[in-house]
Amino acid sequence: MKAILCLEYGSPDVLQFKEAEKPALKDNEVRIRVYGVHKISCYDL
């Protein structure tokens, strides 16, 4: 799956767009599919 990874604290420059493995589900978890996202700045909240 495609993922945006944040491996360290910092500006948006530290975000990495990569392929990642799907995490294994536990018995009490579900997986949802996200078709689109909207850019939200932390300053907008």
- Residue 44 confidence (pLDDT) above 90: no
Q: Which uninterrupted H or E stretch holds 3?
A: strand 2-6
By residue range, what is the domain housing residue 13?
A: 2-44
- Residue 3 confidence (pLDDT) above 70: yes
pTM above 0.85, yes or no: no
- What's the domain count of the chain? 1
Task: Give me the pLDDT at residue 42, please.
Answer: 58
Sign of CA dihedral 5, 7, 12, 13: negative
3 sits in the region (left: phi over 0; alpha: psi -120 to 50; else beta) called beta
